[in-house]
Structure 1
Amino acid sequence: MLIRAGVRPRLLARSPQKISQVVFDHADVMKADSTDPEQVIAATRGLDAIYWVNPSVVSEDPLGDYARATHALTSAVESNGIRRVVFQSSIGAEKRHGVGEIDGLAATETALDALEVNVTHLRCGYFFTNLLLDIDAVRQGHLRTVLPLDLPLAWVAPRDIAEVAALTLLNPSWRGRRAQAVHGPKDLSWREVAKILSAQVNHVVDVEQINDMTMRENYRAAGMPAKMADAVLAMSTGLRDDFQPEQQRSLVTTTPTTLASWAQDELIPALAAAADLRSSRPQFKS
């Protein structure tokens, strides 16, 4: 989006070789580990604005990783005199504590707010693309959540978050410290999500509410370290138990991409690719 706007952005990448070669014709790509202050400082010299996304990886210490990334970011902002920061945060960061991995985002918000810079925190809803992490459950037609099935939540396409971030970077007029929610087109309950998915994938997708301990056991069985499982689980329980979002839905926070259209563009092709992969595996008979 920035490239189409006529900007030549600088991209910080841990693995530059993973970026499409065509992008190199229109952007400057710098190798940098986002938890390494020296690398991030070196990669951001001469910039006047930065869009920052904390890394999210399977980790023995997810909140520690967020803290290290926060230190790298704030070190670069101060060392290089970067005057504007757009930070990808999350709904729930306003609680500051008790929301698992989102606590790491809240700590980044607090650290940026302490600097003498202009900062916009994008408080984003639940990503449509999280469903791709549960592609087998979608294929099998049975999703699980610890949330009440009729609890409405903001669901959003990451592409729409990118658009809000790009527009915010391109707008030089805002000042100070701001929090802007990115809510997607409408709030959806898990029951509504299952109904939409059923219509798009042409088979019934149901959803079951399970207890917290069972979900944690599922995360551990999938290979998550203990602290990671706790942090991921708390992202849901922290938004379930006595939470009221700071930003209410408005024209400013509402974005256009629907779950149905995202499913057509991304989920259905992912299901087809997964089916092709399974069919290509050798079959062994005993």
Structure 2
Amino acid sequence: MRIAVTTPTGNVGRHVVATLIRAGIRPRLLLRAPDRLACDIREEVDAVRVDQYDADAVVAATAGVDALFWVDPTTGSEDPLADYARATESVVRAVTENGIGRVVFQSSVGAEKRHGAGEIDGLAHTETALDDTGVDVVHLRCGYFFTNLELQLDALRAGVLEVILPLDQPMAWVAPRDIAEVAATRLLSLAWSGRCVQAVHGPADLTWRQVAEILTAATGRRIDVRRIDDDAMRARLRQAGMTDGLVEAVLGMSTGLREDFVPEQRRTIHTTTPTTLTAWAHDHLRHRILDAADATDDATGESAAAGEHASGR
């Protein structure tokens, strides 16, 4: 079986690659910077330098492929949905021109709305475009990634997370490694066909209040969460360097899913995955918060000691 993988160094893709290698597959990896691959991985894969927005390059890189794991690349432009459309053109051309029979597409909870969910609308467009090709396709409707918390390390170290969703609104939280397990299983399995939608909801729906409690317990440091209004979040995103178009697209992923939204796929054994936020936070987040906090405490202590010594003189 010849399998191609996009974003193979990402939070999900790197685990997909490792799983396929363990299964005896030599995957073809499409990525902009092959030198980012670990040395031991390079010996087990065929890496191709590709920009996923370059449809001709994607078609050439996927020639002879039986199955494809496709992730729309991240975008930082003023018009994110236009970038999603360009990426969609690439995968559609690759599937149709190379006769790729099976695609596993990393989508998101909320794509079922089709419109009104910010950047997620771009994923919805890819879903419908792949459906129109008639290829056997699985759309993985993933919940909120645990790893998104790594984008807020400074806030976590300060002890306060700011969000625009209601603090008691539950939503699916999932470990990227669990998404990869589902993706790899689907890529390797021949037991399905047609159009499939499989949600990946993680082990439990969590509110932001519960998340704060879990992170407090995992790190041993008090972490609170507070709700801010949309304009305050806009200001923070602009301060982070986002364009106005990207700000609205990112904001829309929350505002589009906070008013009576219910995922199309309910929680079942098929959509529930095992890794808990507690376990993930202890393994992946705890040391990143505590090490930085300890370093800050040490620096503060050294400054205080120096000040006392200077006063003594």
**Shorter-chain TM band:** over 0.9
2:213 and 2:223 in contact (8 A); partners too? yes
In structure 2, give the amino acid aligned to 1:212: D
Give the alignment partner of residue 49 of structure 1, picking from 56, 67, 87: 67
2:170 and 2:205 in contact (8 A); partners too? yes
In structure 1, give the amino acid aligned to 2:234: R
> Matched residue of 1:97: which SS?
coil
Q: How does 1:1-286 map to 2 (within 5 A)?
A: 1-272=19-290, 274=292
In structure 2, give the amino acid aligned to 1:213: D
> Matched residue of 1:160: which SS?
helix
In structure 2, give the amino acid aligned to 1:206: D
Shift of 1:242: 2.9
TM-score (normalizing by structure 2): 0.87
Q: Structure 2: how far apart are the matches of 1:273 and 1:48?
A: 45
Cα 1:274–1:14 change in 2 (3 A) is farther
In structure 2, give the amino acid aligned to 1:264: H
Q: Structure 2: how far apart are the matches of 1:11 and 1:255?
A: 26
> Matched residue of 1:121: which SS?
strand
Q: Structure 2: how far apart are the matches of 1:273 and 1:59?
A: 34
Residue 306 of structure 2 is matched in structure 1 by: none
Q: Structure 2: how far apart are the matches of 1:194 and 1:275?
A: 18
Which runs of structure 1 show a deviation greater than 4 angstroms over 4 or more consecutive aligned residues?
272-280
Cα shift readout 1:170-213 (whole Å, capped 9, x = no counterpart): 10120100110000000000000000000011111000011111
Q: Structure 1: how far apart are the matches of 2:69 and 2:289?
A: 31
Q: Structure 1: how far apart are the matches of 2:213 and 2:71?
A: 32
> Matched residue of 1:239: which SS?
coil
Q: Structure 1: how far apart are the matches of 2:75 and 2:109?
A: 19
Cα 1:256–1:224 change in 2 (3 A) is same
Larger Rg computed on CA atoms: 2
Q: Structure 1: how far apart are the matches of 2:57 and 2:214?
A: 44
Q: Structure 2: how far apart are the matches of 1:277 and 1:129?
A: 23
Compute the RMSD of aligned alpha carbons: 1.6
Cα shift readout 1:43-80 (whole Å, capped 9, x = no counterpart): 10110100001111322221111111000110111110
Shift of 1:269: 3.0
2:174 and 2:203 in contact (8 A); partners too? yes
Shift of 1:273: 5.6
Cα 1:15–1:250 change in 2 (3 A) is same
Number of positions where the alignment pairs a residue of Structure 1 with one of Structure 2:
282
Shift of 1:270: 2.5
Q: Structure 2: how far apart are the matches of 1:200 and 1:15?
A: 35
Deviates more, 1:48-57 or 1:263-272: 263-272
Shift of 1:217: 1.0
TM-score (normalizing by structure 1): 0.95
Q: Structure 1: how far apart are the matches of 2:97 and 2:294?
A: 49
In structure 2, runs of 5+ residues without a counterpart are 1-18, 304-313
Q: Structure 1: how far apart are the matches of 2:282 and 2:75?
A: 27
In structure 1, give the amino acid aligned to 2:56: E
Q: Structure 1: how far apart are the matches of 2:92 and 2:113?
A: 22
Cα shift readout 1:3-56 (whole Å, capped 9, x = no counterpart): 001111111011111111111111111110011001101110110100001111
Q: Structure 2: how far apart are the matches of 1:116 and 1:69?
A: 18
Q: Structure 1: how far apart are the matches of 2:129 and 2:288?
A: 38
Q: Structure 1: how far apart are the matches of 2:29 and 2:156?
A: 33
> Matched residue of 1:172: which SS?
coil
> Matched residue of 1:249: which SS?
coil
2:157 and 2:293 in contact (8 A); partners too? no
In structure 1, give the amino acid aligned to 2:283: D
